[in-house]
RNA sequence: GGAAAGGUAGCUCAGCCGGUUAGAGCACGGCACUCAUAAUGCCGGGGUCGAGGGUUCGAGUCCCUCCCUUUCCA
């Protein structure tokens, strides 16, 4: 009996491009959906543009356009990127639509009438010049705990402290640059705490992964707070029906956007919305999300649904974060890879395969290692999988173009067809990495089979033509089983394979009856190898020397990391094998010979008669030093005054043409300074003269 | 600061409820083969399973402490 399933992945926000973090989630969802469809289930996949909120409003203003125009433009880009990665949404909508507004108002009114909405006054930062209340992220200032400058209004990136904008030292509005004032305003709150028993029961039903359950337990422990779902005008969103000048907070209507998108789809296809959304619905509803938004999806969302008389999600599937080459995606490291950047260089399926090969059912983070990506795809897909078809196709073609009437080794084929349930269960349970391990083991087995039976040797004896065809038929059928199992991951390749086989690859159960006696089409290569040189260009070399942007965590990096970051300027050169002579090892006492000190730049000036040098006057706490430094190409003297640098304080003074240099300032750079020169410095709070060790 | 996940061969990872000489793929070395996109097959080298304690007849697998990495925190 086919299941009725509604699936969503998280809504991309309409103020930036899709990046690999979005793509891995879309791939995870899409693979699951395609698998369900291959099993004959009625599985719908909807998504939408998350269109509301202050950031959209401000970005539109900055671009001199309207939020609607901005959303339309970004949504079109997002849609194209999703399509580029073969993400098969049944419908891609927007939250700024009548459908979403309909559900938003309906839910609000029902929750209000049931007594779950309360009002009370809130004191909030207000920008008098821009005439608007400021979200926490739009107030910046100095962390009250560690004194790091220029931190967001809700938490410190450096020390991790959490606080409110009012706690900041020297708060500044990022909208106008002025100092905010504090004003009171009435807000609407959703009484989340009253749903605790329901939520506990819901989570006990086994809808969530163990790690997510643990997180929820922690939140229950801390106590569920009322949730402020309103914002003051000006705000881009839906106005609250019974509160003029108040708008629904973007996070209130974002998940409702799932239902809005579904409603639009239902209208298009004549589906019964109620059958999916009523409290006792037998349809299943799943949300694929990243772990950062599990609070909204595992607490607010089920509570809002339940309180408003709708069904709750069957389950929420939470995945971990994507890291690139072992570290968080970062713009400054160039590892912030957009969907567009990838698609301009490479086809989508290798990445779908690689993500699938690494995705498990848990919330663990997933690392994209570019070298591993290339090796894995070339070896698994081209070397193993496609090779089976490629090496067998010729024998069939030369032998008349038709498959044999029966399999020479039914027992071996049974191993392949018998894996269907095991591999299917892995897909169902989102253990794609397990499924792919299984599939590749079978691919090895298929290649071994061909090797053992040596059709190329048999083919030399015309009397053995039937035997040759039989072996190739066995091989082709094993290939067919494997590409069927991989079809959720590689839909385009599966379609191409279907054309070659003369029988579409579409249903999971097709594998149970081998393809016999039928004609094959001419074999065309189903995949090409990835060029490591092209793959390496996914990582962007940092463009120019960063214009003095030294704040917070970015600056707290260890010296080794800085060196690495600079090394990345020559993209992957080191990884490509150009290993520079490894430096000799030293002992700790060699290191302690260095007297590294933090110094403050008191004065800086270009040196007359030199293209490279700046003359620095440094405060070492107890003394001042005069140092010449070859950083003129990367720093303007006036930008340096007041900042902290690291210097070698016990370097032999050196007489130069322009004077005596009494030390050396530490910088990171590529060997030829090609990617720029980067001064090392210390976090806020450091004092001149402090020793570095 | 709180929390979660992870630390197993050069790389990416698998090792279920503790039990024979710790596995796979890639990479590397050798051999074979030539049907296949220098693809494939066979053989081989390579691991003090992060560190230190503990429980046990026996621990990569359980407990404690510490170190490191990544990530999350309405």
DSSP A54-84: HHHHHHHHHTTS-HHHHHHHHHHHHHHHHHH
Nucleotide nearest to A433 (CA to C1'): B13
Assign 3-state DSSP to chain A and report helix, strand, coil percentages, each to 5: 40, 20, 40
Same-domain check for residues A377 and A479: yes
Task: Please choose, from the candidates A403, A415, A389, A408, the residue with its C-alpha nearest in 3D space to the C-alpha of residue A453.
Answer: A408
**Closest nucleotide to residue A21 (Cα to C1')?**
B71
For A304-329, the DSSP string reads: HHHHTT-PPPSEEEEE--EEETTEE-
Task: Give the pLDDT score at A529.
Answer: 93
Using left for φ > 0, alpha for ψ between -120 and 50, and beta otherwise, residue A616 falls in: beta
Cβ atoms A646, A616 nearer than 8 A? no
Nucleotide nearest to A390 (CA to C1'): B36
Structural domain ending residue among the three candidates A231, A246, A261: A246
Q: Are residues A292 and A330 in the same domain?
A: yes
| Interval A276-283 mean pLDDT | 96
* pLDDT recorded at residue A659: 57
Least confident of A86-100, A245-259, A640-654: A640-654
| Count of structural domains, chain A | 4
Torsion angle defined by CA atoms of residues A442, A448, A453 and A457, in that order, rounded to the nearest 10 degrees? 130
Please give the pLDDT value at position A15: 87
CB count, 10 Å around CB of A303? 25
A524 and A377 part of one domain: yes
Q: How far is the CA of A365 from the C1' of B57 (A)?
A: 39
Q: How far is the CA of A439 from the C1' of B26 (A)?
A: 16
Q: Which nucleotide is nearest to A225 (CA to C1')?
A: B74
Single residue among A358, A379, A414 that ends a domain in this structure: A358
- Supply the pLDDT for residue A483: 97
Q: Which residue has the least CA–C1' distance to nucleotide B72?
A: A292
With respect to residue A545, please indicate whether it lies within any of the assigned structural domains. Answer: no
Distance CA A10, CA A258 (A): 9
Paired tokens of A596: 């590294």
Q: For residues A267 and A270, give the distance between their C-alpha atoms in angstroms, rounded to a whole number.
A: 5
Q: Which nucleotide is nearest to A380 (CA to C1')?
A: B25
**Which nt is closest to the CA of A214, judged by C1'?**
B4
A197 CB contacts (<8 Å, ≥6 apart)?
Answer: none
**A435 and A511 together in one domain:** yes
Using the structure, give the distance in angstroms from the CA atom of A404 to the C1' atom of B32, rounded to a whole number.
Answer: 29
Residue A518 lies in a domain: yes
Spatial distance from the CA of A320 to the C1' of B59 (Å): 30
Contact A629, A607 (CB under 8 A): no
User: Which of A534, A585, A29 has the alpha carbon at shortest distance from A318?
Assistant: A29
In this predicted structure, what is the pLDDT of residue A222? 81
Nucleotide nearest to A446 (CA to C1'): B40
Q: Identify nearest nucleotide to residue A448 by CA to C1′ distance.
A: B41
Q: State in Å, rounded, how far the first CA of chain A is from the last one.
A: 68
Q: pLDDT at residue A312 above 60? A: yes
pLDDT value of residue A159:
66
| Mean pLDDT of all residues in A494-520 | 96
Q: Closest nucleotide to A328's CA, by C1' atom? A: B70
Protein CA A416 to sugar C1' B14 (Å):
21
Range scoring the smallest mean pLDDT among A104-118, A175-189, A657-671: A657-671
Cα–Cα nearest to A663, from A627, A689, A690? A627
Same domain, A229 and A305: no
List the A372 CA – B47 C1' distance (angstroms).
20
- Say yes or no: A462 and A592 in one domain: no
Which residue places its CA closest to the C1' of nucleotide B3?
A: A215
The pLDDT-based confidence of A110 (bands split at 50, 70, 90) is very high
Determine the pLDDT at residue A164: 82
| Nearest nucleotide (C1') to alpha carbon of A392 | B35
User: In this predicted complex, what is the ipTM?
Assistant: 0.93
The separation, in Å, between residue A503 CA and nucleotide B64 C1' comes to 60
CA distance A581 to A578: 9
pLDDT score recorded for residue A516 = 96
Of A246, A272, A301, the domain-final residue: A246
**CA–CA separation, A211 and A213 (whole Å):** 5
Most confident segment among A73-77, A198-202, A659-663, A684-688: A73-77
What CATH number corresponds to the domain at position A203? Answer: 2.170.220.10
Separation of A456 CA and B34 C1' (Å): 9
- Residues A349 and A394 grouped into a single domain: no
Separation of A212 CA and B65 C1' (Å): 27
Nearest-CA residue to the C1' of B39?
A: A383
Q: Is residue A77 part of a domain?
A: yes
* Among the ranges given (A87-101, A180-194, A275-289, A580-594), the one the predictor scored with the smallest mean pLDDT: A580-594
User: What digits encode the pLDDT tens for the residues A482-506?
Assistant: 999 999 999 999 999 999 999 999 9
Measure A288 CA to B72 C1' (Å).
17
CA of A138 to C1' of B68 (A): 35
Q: Which nucleotide is nearest to A391 (CA to C1')?
A: B36
Judge whether A685 lies within some domain.
no
Clarify whether residues A220 and A309 are in a common domain: no
Q: Which residue range(s) make up the domain with A574?
A: 563-679
Instruction: Give the nucleotide nearest to A472 (CA→C1').
Output: B35
Taken in order A38, A75, A93, A306, the sign of the CA dihedral is positive
Q: What is the CATH number of the domain that holds A66?
A: 3.40.50.620
Q: Which parts of A114-248 are beta strand (E)? A: 117-127, 132-133, 139-142, 151-152, 169-173, 181-190, 227-228, 230-232, 246-248
Report the pLDDT value the prediction gives residue A223, as an integer from 0 to 100.
85
Neighbours of A313 (CB within 10 A): 22
Are residue A387 and residue A477 in the same domain, yes or no? yes
CATH number at residue A515: 1.10.730.10
Decide if A501 is inside a domain: yes
Q: Model confidence at A554, in pLDDT bands (50, 70, 90)?
A: very low
In sequence order, what E strands does A221-270 have?
A: 227-228, 230-232, 246-248
Separation in Å: B45 C1' and A236 CA: 65
Residue A552 in domain: no
- The tokens describing A237, both together, are 């969103």
Nucleotide of closest approach to A376 (CA, C1'):
B26
| Mean pLDDT on A567-579 | 27
Does A445 reside within a domain? Answer: yes
**How much is the pLDDT for A412?**
94
- pLDDT tens, position by position, A359-407: 988 888 888 888 889 999 999 999 999 999 999 999 999 999 999 999 9
> Distance from residue A85 (CA) to nucleotide B41 (C1'), in Å?
35
A46 and A161 together in one domain: no
| pLDDT > 90 fraction of chain A, expressed in percent and rounded | 60
Give the residue from A303, A288, A329 showing the smallest Cα distance to A28. A288
pLDDT for the residue numbered A575: 27
Q: How far is the CA of A319 from the C1' of B12 (A)?
A: 19
The pLDDT of A510-529, averaged and rounded, is: 95
Instruction: Assess whether A389 and A496 both reside in one domain.
Output: yes
The gap between A382 CA and B29 C1' (Å) is: 24
Chain B positions under 7 Å from a protein CB?
A: 1-6, 11-14, 24-27, 33-37, 39-42, 69-74
Cα separation, A272 vs A265, in Å, equals 10
Same domain, A385 and A526: yes
pLDDT confidence of A661, banded at 50, 70, 90?
low
Is residue A553 situated within a structural domain? no
Nearest to A92 by CA among A55, A50, A38: A50
CA–C1' gap, A402 and B20, in angstroms: 50
How many Å does it take to go from CA A366 to C1' B69?
Answer: 13
CATH number at residue A606: 2.40.50.140
The Å distance, CA of A86 to C1' of B13, is: 27
Q: Which nucleotide has the shortest C1'-to-CA distance from A368? A: B12
Label the pairing between strands A654-656 and A614-619: unpaired
């Amino acid at each position: 009996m086919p299941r009725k399933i509604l699936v969503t992945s998280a809504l991309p926000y309409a103020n930036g491009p899709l990046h690999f973090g979005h793509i891995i989630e879309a791939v995870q969802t899409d693979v699951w959906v395609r698998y369900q469809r291959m099993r004959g289930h009625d599985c719908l996949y909807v998504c939408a543009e998350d269109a509301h909120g202050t950031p959209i409003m401000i970005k539109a203003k900055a671009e001199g356009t309207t939020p609607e125009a901005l959303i339309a433009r970004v949504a079109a880009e997002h849609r194209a990127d999703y399509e580029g990665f073969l993400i098969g949404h049944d419908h891609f909508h927007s939250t700024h639509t009548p459908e979403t507004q309909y559900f938003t108002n309906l839910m609000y009114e029902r929750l209000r009438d049931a007594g779950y909405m309360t009002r009370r006054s809130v004191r909030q930062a207000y920008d008098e010049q821009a005439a608007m209340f400021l979200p926490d992220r739009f107030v910046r200032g100095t962390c009250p705990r560690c004194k790091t400058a220029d931190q967001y209004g809700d938490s410190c990136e450096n020390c991790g402290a959490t606080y409110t904008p009012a706690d900041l030292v020297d708060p500044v509005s990022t909208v106008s640059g002025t100092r905010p004032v504090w004003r009171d305003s009435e807000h609407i709150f959703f009484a989340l705490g009253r749903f605790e028993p329901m939520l506990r029961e819901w989570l006990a039903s086994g809808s969530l992964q163990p790690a997510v359950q643990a997180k929820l337990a922690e939140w229950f422990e801390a106590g569920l707070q009322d949730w402020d779902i309103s914002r003051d005008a000006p705000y881009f969103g839906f106005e609250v029906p019974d509160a003029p000048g108040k708008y629904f907070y973007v996070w209130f209507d974002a998940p409702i956007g799932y239902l809005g998108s579904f409603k639009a789809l239902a209208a298009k296809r004549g589906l019964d919305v109620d059958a999916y959304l009523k409290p006792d619905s037998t349809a299943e509803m799943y949300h694929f999300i990243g772990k950062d938004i599990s609070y909204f999806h595992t607490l607010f969302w089920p509570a809002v649904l339940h309180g408003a008389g709708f069904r709750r999600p069957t389950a929420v599937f939470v995945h971990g974060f994507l890291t690139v080459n072992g570290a968080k995606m970062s713009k400054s490291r160039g590892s912030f890879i957009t969907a567009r950047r990838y698609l301009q260089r490479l086809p989508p399926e290798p990445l779908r395969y690689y993500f699938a090969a690494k995705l498990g059912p848990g919330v663990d983070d997933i690392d994209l290692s570019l070298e591993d990506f290339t090796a894995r795809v070339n070896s698994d897909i081209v070397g193993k999988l496609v090779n089976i078809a490629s090496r067998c196709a010729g024998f069939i073609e030369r032998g008349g173009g038709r498959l044999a009437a029966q399999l020479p080794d039914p027992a071996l084929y049974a191993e392949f067809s018998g894996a269907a349930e095991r591999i299917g269960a892995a897909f169902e349970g989102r253990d794609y990495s397990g499924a792919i391990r299984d599939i590749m083991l079978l691919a090895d087995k298929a290649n071994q089979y061909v090797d053992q039976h040596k059709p190329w040797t048999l083919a030399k004896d015309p009397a053995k033509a039937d035997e040759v065809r039989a072996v190739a038929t066995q091989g082709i059928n094993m290939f067919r089983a494997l590409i069927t199992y991989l079809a959720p991951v590689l839909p385009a390749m599966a379609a191409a394979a279907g054309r070659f086989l003369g029988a579409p690859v579409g249903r999971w159960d097709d594998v149970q009856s081998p393809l016999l006696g039928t004609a094959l089409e001419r074999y065309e290569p189903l995949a090409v190898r990835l060029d490591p040189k092209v793959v390496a260009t996914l990582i962007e070399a940092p463009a120019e020397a960063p214009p003095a942007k030294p704040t917070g965590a970015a600056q707290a990096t260890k010296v080794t990391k800085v060196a690495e970051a600079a090394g990345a300027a020559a993209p992957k050169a080191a990884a490509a094998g150009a290993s520079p002579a490894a430096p000799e090892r030293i002992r700790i006492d060699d290191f302690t010979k260095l007297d590294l000190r933090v110094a403050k730049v008191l004065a800086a000036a270009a040196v007359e008669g030199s293209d490279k040098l700046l003359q620095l006057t440094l405060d070492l706490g107890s003394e001042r030093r005069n140092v010449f430094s070859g950083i003129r190409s990367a720093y303007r003297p006036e930008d340096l005054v007041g900042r902290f640098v690291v210097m070698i304080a016990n370097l032999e003074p050196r007489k130069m043409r322009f004077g005596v240099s009494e030390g050396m300032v530490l910088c990171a750079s590529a060997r030829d300074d090609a990617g720029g020169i980067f001064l090392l410095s210390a976090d806020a709070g450091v004092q001149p003269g402090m020793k570095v060790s």
